[in-house]
Amino acid sequence: MTTVSDFPAAAGPEADGVDAAVAAARSAQPGWDALGFAGRRKVLQAWCTLILRRSDELISLIRAETGKTADDARLEVVLVAHHLRWTATHAARVLGRRRVSPGLLMFNHSVEVTHRPLGVVGVIGPWNYPAFIPVGPVSAALAAGNTVVLKPSEQTPKTGEWLAATLAEVTGAPRVLHVVQGDGAAGAALCRAAVDKVSFTGSSATGRRVMAACAENLTPVVIEGGGKDAMVVAADADLDAAADAAVWAAMTNAGQTCVGLERVYVVGAVADRFLDLVAERTAGLRVGDGADADLGRIVLPKQLDVIAAHVRDALARGARAVVGGPHSITPPYAAPVVLADVPEDSAAVTEETFGPVLVVNRVATVDEAVARANAGSYGLGAAVFSRDRDGGRSIAARLRAGMVSVNAVIAFAGMPAVPFGGVGDSGFGRVHGPEGLREFTRTQAITSQRFRPLMHPTSFRRGPRTMPTLVRMVRTLYGR
C-alpha cells in the first residue's frame, strides 16, 4: 500500500492514550491466558457468531468508510468469519504442548515444547480491508493467550471500534481487545509502548518507520508491506480462465488490494488472444457507488495522483492503452486501465500502483516471464496459469513470492490454514495458518532427566574414559 504516514519521534496525547490502553491490556492478559485454549476458543467462536449475526452492520460500516461495492464488503465479512473460526478451532492443536525426541545421546531425558503467549500485541491495521486484515493477527494473538491493542487506519476508525465492541459484548470486562485512534503519531506511540510484538500492514515505506520505532525497545515485528503481484501465463494456459482471473484480481476493490494483480507476463504465442479477452472483460466493468457498480471509489485522494502518474509515465515511455487511459481517473473514482507493452523500468511495473491498472507484457518464454516477475523489489503473491498442473507448480516454485496460486488468483487469502506474507519489500513474518499463530508466542523447551546415565559427560567429575568413549559412540552412529 502506498499510504505513508510520518512516524514522529515524540510522545504527546497519542502516547498517553496508547500507554493507558497497553496498561489495561497488560492487566487483563493473565486472566485471558488462564482461560486456556478451550476457554478462548469458546469466546472467539461466540465472537464469530455475533459478527455473522450482525454482518449487515459491518458491511454497511465498511462501505461507508471505504466506498467499497456491496459485494466487496460482503466478501470481506465472509473472510473475517472464515479465518476467525479456523484460528479459534486450531490454536490448541498448533500451540499445545508437544513431546520431542531427546535423541540417542540424551536418551535419559524427556522433552516437551510449549508455545507461551508474549503478553500484549500491538496491531496496526490498513484501510483497504479494515476488518479482514486486522482480524488475522488479532485473532491469532488472542487465541494464543495475548491481549491486543489495535490501531486502525485513521481512514477507517469505526470499523476497528466495531470489532472491539462486538468482542467486548462476548467477553465482558476486562476488555482483551483495545482500540487506539489516530494517525502516524498514534502508530509511533504504539511501536514505542511496552508491547511485546507489533504486527503492521501498510506501505513498505511506513513499514521501515515501524521497524525503526520498534527497534528502540527491541520489539519484534511482523511486516506486510504491500506488493506488485505478477501472473505468468504459459502458452498452454486456459486463456479464458486466465483472462477472467486476471481482470478480477486486478480490479476487485478498485485495485486497492495488497495481493491484487498488477502485472501479467504472457508467452507471445497467446499474448494477442489473452489481451483481447482481458480487454473484453474489462471494458464492461462499471464504476460508482450504485448497487450495480463493480468498482467503488479510491479511498485516498492522493492515490488518484499516483494512479494517474503511473499511467502517464507508461504511455510516455511507449506503452499503449488497451482499455482506458489518463481520462479514466475522475475523482473519487478510477475506471479500469489495461496497458500493454510497458517498459520494465516504468513506474507502472516497478512501483505499487494500488489502483485498477493492469500491465500486460508479452515474453518469449516462461523463463523470461519468471525472470521479469522476480526482478522487482516486492515479493508478496503471484499466480501461474498452465494446463500442465505439474508444470504450473514447477513455475510457481521458481517465483520469488510468499504465496502463489496455480490456475487461480489470490486463492491463498481464502484459506485460513495457509500462511500469508512476503519477502523483500513485501516484508517478513507470517499471519494466518499455523505459522501465523506461532508468530504471537514464545517457544519454550523443557527437558527433564528421567534417570542418571552410566556416563556423565556434563560434569567435571566424569571419568578419564568418558569423553573418548563418547567420541567413539558418535563415530559409530554418524561417521559412516
In 3D space, the residue among 201, 200, 202, 146 whose CA is nearest the CA of residue 177 turns out to be 146
Phi, then psi, of 198 in degrees rounded to 5: -125, 130
- Residues facing residue 423 across a β-bridge: 379
Q: Which strands sit side by side in the sheet containing 229-233, from one edge to the other?
A: 320-323, 337-340, 357-363, 261-267, 229-233, 381-385, 403-406
In 3D space, the residue among 303, 288, 283 whose CA is nearest the CA of residue 333 turns out to be 288
d(Cα 182, Cα 157) in Å, to the nearest integer? 8
d(Cα 200, Cα 25) in Å, to the nearest integer? 18
Q: Residues near 32 by Cβ (< 8 Å), separated by ≥ 6?
A: 40, 142, 145, 146, 147, 176
Cell numbers given for 327: 481520462
Cell numbers given for 84: 476467525
Cα distances (Å, whole numbers) of residue 362 to 366, 369, 406, 424: 10, 8, 19, 25
Is 224 known to be catalytic?
A: yes
Is 214 known to be catalytic?
A: no
Q: Residues near 133 by Cβ (< 8 Å), separated by ≥ 6?
A: 125, 126, 201
CB atoms within 10 A of CB 215: 12
d(Cα 191, Cα 217) in Å, to the nearest integer? 9
- Residues facing residue 446 across a β-bridge: 112
Of 258, 262, 351, 352, the catalytic one is 258
Of 14, 65, 76, 224, the catalytic one is 224
Residues classed as catalytic:
224, 258
